[in-house]
Amino acid sequence: MGFNSKVAIVTGATGGIGQQLVAQLISQGAKVVVTGRDASSCALLEERYGDRLSALAGDITATEHCQALVEHAVQRFGGLHLLFNNAGTIPRGTAIETSDEMWDSALAVNLTAAFKLSRAAIEHMRSNGGGTIVNTASAWGLYPGPAHLAYCTAKGALIAMTRSMGRDHATQQIRINAVCPNEVDTPMLRSGFEYRGLDAKKALRELDNTVPLGHVAQPQEIVDAMLFLASEQSRYVTGTVLEVTGAKAVY
């Protein structure tokens, strides 16, 4: 699709989907700013990608860090065109199993961080010719799966935020969309197998059989949809959510 001379911020860059996304963006010519809580993981990414990637460690739930990330992209690479709100955390449990901390962290990482970073990015994009934001939501935000109350609620709100922001900022040539994957073969999915005491290989094979297209998504299959939404090829698409599920229905 070609992202030559584009500058992107990616959150959750050390995760299964995030690593693949960063690799693709860089291989297609973009310069990428990443962030994370752990400075050593950030430094490793800088080592791997040299002058095409710059990391700023910090807390994406903090307003000041979100503003600093946008300033960093502008100072280091001369602008900001693409934002991927991809970081996510998945506390597990029904209402009675969900502590205040689980609830707060689900909303802070999956929703509030995306709001604060989008707000900071939009402030820059609206006076610099526009831009594109892609949020990693979830099919579970549309059709909640069992016993993940805080996660499903946060992703559902992220979907509403995407639609609302997409509408508000279209006149400023800022496109805002989301992908909604079902299961993706990443550490997040595998942590669920561990949580339930399942053998990961066997559980993955069984899950493959539940997907009409025949297999649980690989990160690249989600990244391809994210890159479409970030690219010129989707230039008339905004305020939408794209289900990338292999036709697996949650209900």
- Does position 112 interact with ligand NAD (CB under 6 A)? The reply is no
Give the dihedral sign, CA 137/143/145/148: positive
- Does position 153 interact with ligand NAD (CB under 6 A)? The reply is no
Shortest gap between Cβ of 12 and ligand NAD (angstroms)? 3
- Does position 109 interact with ligand NAD (CB under 6 A)? The reply is yes
Torsion of CA 16, 17, 22, 24, to 10 degrees: 110
Shortest gap between Cβ of 91 and ligand NAD (angstroms)? 11
Cβ–Cβ under 8 Å, residues 182 and 250: yes
- Does position 117 interact with ligand NAD (CB under 6 A)? The reply is no
143 or 237, CB closer to ligand NAD? Answer: 143
CA distance 130 to 125: 5
- Does position 157 interact with ligand NAD (CB under 6 A)? The reply is no
Give the dihedral sign, CA 203/148/61/135: positive
Give the dihedral sign, CA 202/207/208/210: positive
For ligand NAD, the binding residues in 180-219 under the rule CB under 6 A are 181, 183-184, 186-189
Give the count of alpha carbons within 13 A of 88, CB side only.
28
Residue from 36, 156, 166, 246 touching ligand NAD (CB under 6 A): that is: 36
CA distance 10 to 45: 12
Q: Which of 151, 195, 236, 251 is catalytic?
A: 151
18 or 131, CB closer to ligand NAD? Answer: 18
User: Quick check: is 143 catalytic?
Assistant: no
Shortest gap between Cβ of 105 and ligand NAD (angstroms)? 7
Cβ–Cβ under 8 Å, residues 110 and 151: yes
Binding site for ligand NAD (CB under 6 A): 12, 14-18, 36-37, 60, 86-89, 109, 136, 138, 181, 183-184, 186-189
